[in-house]
């Protein structure tokens, strides 16, 4: 894959003049920004601002009518989400989208699917290459389980877990893909303070330990200011500000549109 030689701070993903419509609804209008390798990039804005839609465009789930998305220096055509996954883009969802009938362990193992390749023939017998591969990836997944401190729920079907833990398992599943770009859609929504602090710690650790580039949607403005290197602010599908947390915090348009109300 090209672009492997990207260094920290180089442009990993560039969104240029992207517009997305659903019939008459304009979800995103003419938005441009970039994500640099190794940074934590926050996307904030009121409900319905188009943040989730933006992530959906980035991982190939929605196809913007206008504009271009460049990933690792290559302009992307219309693509299916599994292609984005194979290029190293992983994500979590605003409303948890786990595999409910499967255990924590199996959910995270699914994240390893693209890294596994033992032939069908060996899968039938669960011996030889198939078993070696299974053990090797199990070991990797156990590291993630340790890292996220979810050892005790390893074999529990995720449908039975409380919401906060489900969010954590979902992060684990995305991490199992060893992504280059990790998209997190409101990873702390609906959590209590303690759970939020844990999640913040995990996100910072992922960034510093693995050097993963992270795009983060979050409502809690305090969290955003602490975690992120740079912030994009959307409102009604348009970009109204872009810069370091300090710059964005001082921006009058942002104060009016977002910081002033509610939070």
Partner 1 sequence: MLYREAGQFKTTYEADMAVFPIRQDRIGLGLIILAAFLLPLFSSDFFIGTVMVPFLVFSLAAIGLNLLTGYTGLLSLGTGAFMGVGAYACYKLTIAFPEVNVLIWIVASGFFSAAVGVLFGLPSLRIKGFYLAVATLAAQFVLEWCVVRIPWLYNYSSSGSIDVPTRTLFDIAITGPQATPTTRYLVLLSIVVIFTWIASNIVRGRIGRMWMAIRDMDIAAELMGIRPLQTKLLAFAVSSFYCGVAGAVMMFLWYGGGEAKDAFNINLSFNILFMIIIGGLGALLGAFLGAGLLHLVPIFLKFGLPALGVPIGGETAEHWTHIIIGMLIIFFLIVEPHGLARLWSITKQKLRMWPFPY
Distance CA(93)–CA(123), nearest Å, equals: 31
In the complex with ligand ADP, which residue's Cβ is closer, 49 or 241? 49
The site that binds ligand ADP (CB under 6 A) totals a number of residues, namely 11
Phi, psi dihedral angles at 36 (to 5 degrees):
-95, 150
In the complex, least distance from residue 20 CB atom to ligand ADP, rounded to whole angstroms: 8
Q: How far is Cα of residue 2 from the mean position of the Cα atoms in its chain?
A: 22
In the complex with partner 1, which residue's Cβ is closer, 130 or 221? 130
Angle in degrees, CA 181, 182, 187, rounded to 5: 160
Tell me which H or E stretch contains 241.
strand 238-243
Q: How far apart are the first and last CA of the chain?
A: 43
Q: Does 56 bind Mg ion (CB under 5 A)?
A: no
In the complex, least distance from residue 177 CB atom to Mg ion, rounded to whole angstroms: 21
In the complex, least distance from residue 259 CB atom to partner 1, rounded to whole angstroms: 32
Q: How far is Cα of residue 122 from the mean position of the Cα atoms in its chain?
A: 33
In the complex with partner 1, which residue's Cβ is closer, 17 or 86? 86
Angle in degrees, CA 6, 8, 14, rounded to 5: 65
- How are beta strands 11-22 and 89-92 bridged, if at all? unpaired
Q: Print the binding letters for residues 11-40 with ligand ADP: x by CB under 6 A, - otherwise.
A: -----------x--x-x-------------
In the complex with ligand ADP, which residue's Cβ is closer, 38 or 237? 237
Q: Print the binding letters for residues 35-74 with ligand ADP: x by CB under 6 A, - otherwise.
A: ----------x-xxxxxxx---------------------
If contact means CB under 5 to 8 A according to the sort of partner, which of ligand ADP, partner 1, Mg ion, none does residue 113 touch?
A: partner 1
DSSP 203-246: HHHHHHHH--EEEEE-S-HHHHHHH-SEEEEEETTEEEEEE-HH
| Length in residues, the chain | 263
Q: Which among 41, 76, 36, 37 is positioned nearest to 60, based on CA atoms? A: 76
Residues that bind partner 1 (CB under 8 A): 59, 61, 80-82, 84-86, 90-91, 93, 97-102, 106, 109-111, 113-114, 116, 118, 120, 123-126, 130-131, 133-135, 138-139, 142, 173, 177
Instruction: Pick the binder of Mg ion from 19, 32, 70, 94 (CB under 5 A).
Output: 94
In the complex with partner 1, which residue's Cβ is closer, 75 or 100? 100
Binding site for ligand ADP (CB under 6 A): 22, 25, 27, 45, 47-53
Binding site for Mg ion (CB under 5 A): 52, 94
């Amino acid at each position: 894959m090209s672009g492997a030689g990207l260094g920290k701070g180089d442009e990993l993903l560039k969104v240029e003049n992207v517009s997305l419509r659903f019939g008459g609804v304009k979800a995103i209008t003419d938005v441009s920004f970039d994500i640099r390798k190794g940074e934590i990039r926050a996307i904030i804005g009121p409900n319905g601002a188009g943040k989730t839609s933006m992530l959906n465009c980035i991982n190939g789930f929605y196809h913007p009518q206008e504009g271009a998305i460049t990933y690792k220096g290559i302009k992307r055509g219309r693509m299916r989400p599994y292609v984005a996954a194979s290029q190293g883009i992983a994500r979590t969802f605003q409303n948890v989208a786990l595999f409910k009938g499967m255990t924590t362990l199996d959910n995270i193992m699914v994240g390893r699917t693209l890294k596994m390749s033992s032939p069908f023939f060996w899968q039938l017998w669960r011996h030889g290459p198939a078993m070696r591969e299974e053990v090797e990836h199990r070991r990797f997944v156990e590291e993630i389980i340790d890292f996220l401190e979810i050892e005790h729920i390893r074999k529990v079907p995720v449908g039975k877990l409380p919401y906060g833990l489900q969010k954590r398992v979902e992060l684990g599943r995305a991490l199992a893909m060893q992504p280059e770009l990790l998209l997190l859609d409101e990873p702390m929504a609906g959590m209590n303070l303690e759970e939020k602090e844990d999640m913040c710690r995990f996100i910072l650790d992922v960034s510093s330990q693995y050097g993963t580039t992270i795009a983060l949607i979050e409502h809690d403005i305090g969290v955003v200011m602490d975690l992120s290197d740079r912030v994009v602010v959307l409102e009604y599908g348009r970009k109204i500000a872009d810069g370091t947390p300090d710059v964005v915090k001082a921006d009058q348009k942002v104060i009016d549109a977002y910081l002033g109300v509610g939070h």
